[in-house]
Every structure is written in structure tokens, then in C-alpha cells.
Chains A and B, each alone.
Chain A
Amino acid sequence: MSERRPGTNYLNVSYGIRSWLFTVDHKRIALLYLGSVTLMFLLGTVFAGLVRLELLTPAGDLFSADSYNKIFTMHGIVMVFFFLIPGIPAVLGNFLIPMMVGARDLAFPRLNLLSWYLYTIGALFTLFNIVIGGVDTGWTFYTPYSSAWTTTNIVPVALGIFITGFSSILTGLNFIVTIHTMRAPGLTWFRLPLFVWAHYAMSIVVILGTPVIAITIVLLALERVFKLGFFDPALGGDPVLFQHFFWFYSHPAVYIMILPAMGVISEIIACFSRKRVFGYSFVAASSLAIALLGFLVWGHHMFVSGQSVFAGLVFSVLSFMVAIPSAVKVFNWTATLYKGSISFDTPMLYVFGFLGLFTIGGLTGLMLACLGIDVHVHDTYFIVAHFHYIMVGGTVMAYLGGLHFWWPKITGRMYPEWWGRLSALIVFVGFNLTFLPQFIVGYLGMPRRYHAYPDEFQVFNVMSSAGASILGVGYLIPLFYFAWSMRYGKKAPDNPFQATGLEWTTPSPPPTENFPVTPVVTEEAYAYEKMPIPAGGARAV
């Protein structure tokens, strides 16, 4: 610490590719993740674009059914396992959690680097599979099709996901231990920022859920390679067991995606309405409640799988209950906005986008938790629209909002505010144009995963594809101006938004050890009544 020269930060403390690939600094690892995650996001977007292109016309004229199956499968796998799940925790969580708790690094810095390498190796396995021909099972790998019938490359993809699972376990483990053991003096549990609470809850879900998908993938691979019977009815096994295992992880995985997003929203909404988060302890506890209830609802994916009606009823009731802590959050955010000094800067625009889209996604989730409605719309575009509203409308809006909010801290540069607002608007419009028509066309009966459809559905599909292209533009604009701002953006002050939180008390970009002196915390989070109101928010800088 003592030999640190003034003006040295984590970005310029050392140069060269080796100093990045062998770094144990959580901030540099966060940037490594930012690069990988962005690449995977672009890849997933390309597959999504191909899907929407095929569905522009009712006939299956652009791709064969086989190719189409492979394209939507890769879209699902890349987006779920390599973008949505690691996205916010690996980039923003990695960068911010040690700083928010006043620590010099995560508890296990080398494990953190290892988890990036595991992520990269897992991603390479999946990419390798695309090169050698793809997978056509859908991202859910339902047996016995995946274990006994398909001739595509299940094993490399399964291996890729297995390895990436370890990456996410290590990240979750690191967060839990860091939050437990490395908080700065005075930083009690109920002084923690809600971002930290959200990541703590998410880590619990990761720790308890990911090993189950790991063993499921092992069993699937054993059945496929060695013909050990677990899920194949021809061998005496039970394909429904696979679905239980799969959804025991993959339903909580939605909360792995959305909990960190909710953490981001709490931070931004307090800052840009200049108020304490209303009902702080309820928002914190609701994260844990979501983590707990999230493990009790997997059976709602299996209402038509042949499970008993009693199981269906129980899972239906439990699924309704998840709405309670989610609603607690949304209502508390709304109450935070009430009589706040709201400024409509880019991060806040993304928050408003999040609130609208997440609410629509949540309310349609309640519809799907009803047994009767679910049987009607099962495996239709209604489902597709619902989970895109939650997972993309929720997670991606929060990810982009958070990236803008902490961009000055990460890079030491401001992003162009006007362009930021424009892209937030385009993303919101494009998103709704893409997925609202899918609710309608799904309710009318268009099944998912088909590359051809009856003519009467075309108008909705054309709207959806048009929306997808607008959405694509909305995603590309930040890519360009973020890259631009790293070199040409205005220099950012330590705390451009006058936000509370330890991460804003250190220079932008921070030094390697985060804080010149270990901070001591003397008050609760979000003491915005003591902060000056910045005139015009980010525009003023």
C-alpha cells in the first residue's frame, strides 16, 4: 500500500496480456468476464436473429427443420448458461462486492480467477460443439430424446455446461465467504447495501442448485455413453425423473438471474430518487424469501408431464407464493419513488424499463401458475413471451442499467448521457414490440420450437421480428459508445452521481487494494438525506 504512486489505479498498475490473464484482482477479473460475457451475448443474439428471420414467413423456407432446431437450441444454451446466469454476478458482483463490504479483494482471489478460466473452457466446449454440428434438443435436454435418440453432440455441450457450473459455484462460494468474513469494521448485516443482500441470496441458490444440475448432466452423459439406465424407459428408467432434476436447478436459475438484477435496481432507484430504500429490511429479507421459495416451485414446469394432480396443485399454490416477496420488492421500490427527487438519467430509465417489463412478466407468471391456463398455453409462444419478459426484460435491463451506473467507477470515464437515454428508449420500445405480440400469438395457439406455422399467425410474427431488429440496434448503440468512452469519455469524478456506498468513496478507477485505508462504517446504507443533490445528474459532469 505504501509504495502506491498517486494516480495509480487497477487499470494502469501493470501492462501486458500476462498481467491480465494471471491477475488475481477482482476488478480485473470482472473486466475479463465483461469481455467474455459480451462475446457470448453477441453470439446468442445472432442465433436469436436467425430464429426471428426464419419466423418472418409462415413457411419453413430459410432453414431446414433440423437446422432450426439447432439454432434455437444454441440461442437458449448460450443465453441462459453463458450470459444470463453469470452476467450480473460475474461482472458487476465481482467488481463491486469487495468494494461494497470494504474489503481489499474477494476471500479467494485465485479461485476467482479459476472460475473465469472454467467459464471460458466451458464456453469453448459449447462453441466447439457448434463448429462440429450443433445440438437439437432444446436447452432443456429432455430425456430420452437427448440420451438415446438424437445423433447430435450432447456430450460436449453437457461437458461445457458442467464445467461452467463449477465456475458459478466458485463465484457463489467466494461471495458468501467474503460477505460473511470480510466486512469492514462497523458494517453490520443490516447496514449492507441491498446489492450485497441480493448477491448473498443468489449465492445460496447457486450453492444449493448448481450441484444438482451437475449430477444430472453426469447421469445424462453416463446414460448416453455407457448405456447406464437412469432416464430411458427402454432401460427401465424414468424420463420424468430427469425433468424433476433439471427443473430443481433450472427454475431456481431464474432467481440466480433476477436476484442480482433486483440488487442493481435497489441501488439505482435510491440514488436517482435521492431517498432511502423504503422498507430496507423487507427488501433484504424478500431476497432470502425468493431464494427459499424458488426451490419449492420446480414442478410448475411439469403440469403436463404426467405428475399427479395433487403434485400439480401443491406446485401451483407454491408458485403463487413466490409472487409475494417479488411484489414486496416492487411495491417498496414504488414507495421509494414516492415524493422522491427523481432524475431521468440513463440508469434510471433502465430501472423504469425493468419495473414495467418485470411486472408484466410477473403477472403473466401468475397466469401460468394456474393449472388450467397453463395446460392451455403450455409450450406455446405465451411461455416464450413470459420468460423473456422476466429473464431478458428483468435481467438485461438491470444489467445495462447497472453497467451505466457503475461505468464511471469501472473505467474512470463518463458515458455520453444523450446516447445512453436514446438507447434505453430504443431497447424498451424494441423489447415490447418483440415480445408483446408473442403473448397474443401464443394464446391463440402458436406452439414454440416450430419453424413453420399457419398463415394467420404471420402478422404477429412480423411485428415480433421487426421488434427484434429494433432491440438489436438498442443493444448495439451502448457497445459503441462504451468502447468510445473508454478513450474519449469525460474523466469521471470519484462520485459523479452523489451516491452513497463505500465504492463511491474511493477514486475512479479504484486502486488495486480498493481503499487507501480500510474504511469504517458508522451509518446505514442509503443515507441520501445527507448527500448533496447533483444538479442535473450525470449531465452536469
Chain B
Amino acid sequence: MPSDAAAHAVHAHHFEDAAQQRHAVTLGMWTFLVTEILFFGGLFLAYSIYRWSFPAAFAAASHHLDIVLGTVNTAVLICSSLTMAMAVHSAQMGGRKSLIAYLVLTIILGTAFLGIKAVEYAHKFEEHLVPGATFRLPPEPKGAGHVVDHDQAVAAGVPSMEYPEPEELARHAQIYFSLYFAMTGMHALHMVIGLGLLGWLVLGARRGRFAPGLDAPVEIVGLYWHFVDIVWIFLFPLLYLIGRHK
């Protein structure tokens, strides 16, 4: 326990002691993360509603995401969460060199994630899968064995929601890609902010700012980084996996 060290640590003038400051800082970050959950919650709600309304279009559109790149990126991000946890541990133990090493490693993994994301975005632009005037959904998505001709389906009495006409399918697939760009874009923005915070921690660590009992900044940035990871852990199955049958 860092309580002994905390008693000697420097705290801001308006706190009674370092323990109170630490309590306040941690509670503040958790409260902030609640707001973040609600912020992403709006996106998740919109996704749920449209996926429920247009199941066929969402299934068809999800086949156009690159599952290999998505999986690699998930692994990269989980590794970055591990290195971040190790960084927090190093800060608590007072290992300055290992703290810097783990922070830098986290930055590298985070940057790799954004790089892969950028490659995926570029593919979407090339394939005209960006919503707008040039959007077009390839008629026969590879691996989508379940797509049935609309007229046959209507004749068989199947609801048109499940087998829409091609134009309708494309229109609803645009919503899928709108949500894809909004959700992954918002997530990427949070990653960029996180990388900035990590860079700030590296500068602080090089000046020896973080000692046992004074590691609250590392800890709360760690909380933030884990939160951003968790958001991706929800985004990945929702966008890449659900609706994929082969």
C-alpha cells in the first residue's frame, strides 16, 4: 500500500492530504467514464435500432468489412491494454525505466491500431462503400449464401424486410456504413486523445514525476485507455462478426 508514501507526497493546496486528492482524482475519472459510456451509448442505440429494422442489409454490408484486419487490430489493442496495465504497475512500484518502456510500447501499439484502421478506411473509399452519391453495394457479396431473390421471397410470403429489393438493400447498407464510420471514427478520435495523454505521461515519467503514491495520473490515463479498448471489444463483434455466416 502506498499510504506511507502518500503521507509524504505533495498534494494540491485545496486538499487536506494526498489520500484525499487520490480519492478525488480517481472518482473524477470514473465519473468521466460514465459520461463516455452514455456518449457511445447513443451510437450503440442507433446501431441496435437500425440493425433490428434492416437485418438483411446489415448482414450483407458486414461482409464487406475485412475480418482479418479487424481481428489483427483487436489483438493489437488487447496487447496495448496489457502494456498499459504493466505501465500502471511499474508506476506503483517506482520503476521509472520500465514505466517509460511500457508507455512507449503502448504508444506503438496504439499507433499500429490507427495505422491498420487507416488502411481499412482507404479500402472502403476504393470500394465505394462510403455513404454518399458514389456509394454502391456490390450485388453478390462473397460468402453471403443466404441472399435470395427479392421477387421469389415475396412470392413465398417472406417479409420484404428480410429480402429487400436491391436498391432498398443498398440504401439500408448505407446506414450500416454511416454507423461504421461514425462509431469507429469516434473510437479512433478517442485513441488519438489517449495517445496524446500517453505522450504527456512519457514526458512526466522522464522528469521523474511519478513515484509510488504519486502515480494517480498514470492510473487514470490507464483507466481511460482500458475504457477505449472495451469500446472496441463491443464494436468488433457488432460490426465485423454478427451476420457473418461463413
Contact = CB atoms under 8 A, between A and B. Distances in A.
Contact of B20 (A173, A182, A227): A182
B34 A226 contact: no
Given A177-B24, A177-B31, A230-B178, A235 B46 contact: no
A340 B174 CA distance: 66
Nearest to A240: B49
A486 interface: no
A178 B34 CA distance: 17
A241 B178 CA distance: 15
Given A181-B20, A182-B20, A208-B34, A229 B178 contact: yes
A228 B181 contact: yes
B193 interface: no
A108 B133 CA distance: 47
Interface stretch (A191-199, A211-219, A402-410): A211-219
Given A103-B14, A104-B13, A212-B39, A219 B28 contact: no
Given A104-B14, A169-B35, A241-B49, A215 B27 contact: no
A interface, by DSSP: helix, strand, loop or mixed?
helix
Contacts of B174: 229, 235-236
Interface in A207-261: 207-212, 214-216, 218-219, 222-223, 226-230, 235-238, 241, 245
B182 A207 contact: no
A503 interface: no
B16 to A, nearest CB: 7
B46 A219 contact: yes
Contact of B42 (A182, A216, A237): A216
B47 to A, nearest CB: 10
Nearest to A169: B35
A140 interface: no
Given A222-B182, A228-B181, A182 B24 contact: yes
A257 B131 CA distance: 39
Given A216-B42, A235-B174, A210 B35 contact: yes
Given A229-B178, A235-B174, A181 B46 contact: no
A229 B31 CA distance: 31
B38 interface: yes
B54 interface: yes
B207 interface: no
A222 to B, nearest CB: 6
Nearest to A214: B39
A229 B39 contact: no
Contacts of B35: 169, 173, 207-208, 210-211
Interface in A106-158: 106-109
Contact of A218 (B14, B36, B54, B186): B186
Nearest to B171: A236
B50 to A, nearest CB: 8
7 contacts: A109-B12, A177-B31, A209-B38, A222-B182, A223-B178, A226-B132, A238-B53
Interface of A: 103-109, 169, 173-174, 176-178, 180-182, 207-212, 214-216, 218-219, 222-223, 226-230, 235-238, 241, 245, 513, 518
